[in-house]
Amino acid sequence: MILLIDIGNSRSKWVLTNEASGINWQASGQWSNQGFSEAHWLARFKAIKETVSQEFEAKVEAIAISCVANEDVWKLLQNYCEQVFEMLPILPQSSREYRSQQGGRLFNSYKVTEALGVDRWLAMIAGTELTTQAFAVIDAGTAITLDVIDSSGQHLGGHIIPGHRLMQSSLLGDTGRIAWSAQHNRDDQLDSEWLATNTQQAIEQGTLCASVAYLEHLIDKLCHQLQLDVVIVTGGDAEQLISLLNTGFKKYLKYQKDLVLQGLFYWFLDNLTKKTADKANS
């Protein structure tokens, strides 16, 4: 079995698969990162190992992890994998080029290729496997990211903005009076669907409106000006934000729940193929 893990800023998602199953996951789950505490992470990994052993009568043979955290966190993950699975995980990085299973190509636009967040690169890899047309990826998580790829596979660039929860924490953490006010009226009822009568709800409603307005602006540019037919949306906040869009914008979107994990699987296959070829040539 192959264990794939996508580590976000606040939570992690995992899936189990094999080459035959592909992106039709055999099992999946998620957990809160909880500061990467040893007891918490070892318990999660042990539970996955038990699932593989009991439900599939197999063992984890390879681990690939998408992680945008710092090197200290990566070292912790290596230690946890060694303790539980007795193997080191594979950590993908963004590269200059990716060749899809269908023969298509994806080209990185960054001069320093590794500087492009690996989660964004993996999401684009998955998009390259999903369509041969020009497409865009919107990942609505802690941050909202945009990446646009033309029909030749060239990454044209993108955006990164704070998601609405990150906007909320910024307001509550960096503006003392707003934080004080929010703490003193958080239990008030919301009297309007979109106009708040207390600070906590004013922050929540306002930041949601900002995220929705940004997405509608993006979709207008992507679909009307660039005339893209494929806009793939993923991320933990994607479903909530899509539900708040005007109906006219929703029709352009293709929601994919596990886009980064899908890209991680395809990256793993490509990496495995390259290793096999290298061995054959040595």
Token digits of residue 267: 């990256």
Q: Do 132 and 256 belong to one domain? A: yes
pTM above 0.85, yes or no: yes
* Structure tokens given for 146: 């945009």
Question: Does some domain include residue 152?
Answer: yes
- pLDDT tens digits, residue range 74-83? 899 999 999 9
177 is an annotated ligand-binding site residue: no
Q: Are residues 132 and 239 in the same domain?
A: yes
**Is 182 inside any structural domain?**
yes
Domain co-membership, 120 together with 211: yes
Residues 84 and 122 occupy one common structural domain? no
| Whether the Cβ atoms of residue 94 and residue 117 lie closer than 8 Å to each other | yes
- Residue 157: phi, psi to the nearest 5? 125, -170
Whether 251 is covered by a domain: the verdict is: yes
In a domain, 110, yes or no: no
Is 229 among the annotated ligand-binding positions?
no
Cβ atoms 12, 45 nearer than 8 A? no
Structural domain includes residue 249:
yes
What do you get for the CA distance between the two ends of the chain, in Å? 27
- 227 in the same domain as 126: yes
Identify whether residues 140 and 223 lie together within a single domain. Answer: yes
User: In whole numbers, what is the pLDDT of the chain averaged over residues?
Assistant: 89
Asked if 157 and 226 sit in the same domain, the reply is yes
Q: Is residue 282 part of a domain?
A: no
Q: Where in the sequence numbering do the catalytic residues fall? A: 119
Q: Is position 192 annotated in a ligand binding site?
A: no
Domain boundaries, position 14: 2-91
Question: 141 and 243 share a domain?
Answer: yes
Q: Is there a binding annotation on residue 235? A: no
119 known ligand binder: yes
What's residue 178's pLDDT?
Answer: 44
pLDDT digits (tens, 9 = 90+) for 206-253: 999 999 999 999 999 999 999 999 999 999 999 999 999 999 999 999
- Does residue 230 lie within any of the structural domains? yes
In a domain, 142, yes or no: yes
CATH number at residue 225: 3.30.420.40
How many domains does the chain contain in total? Answer: 2
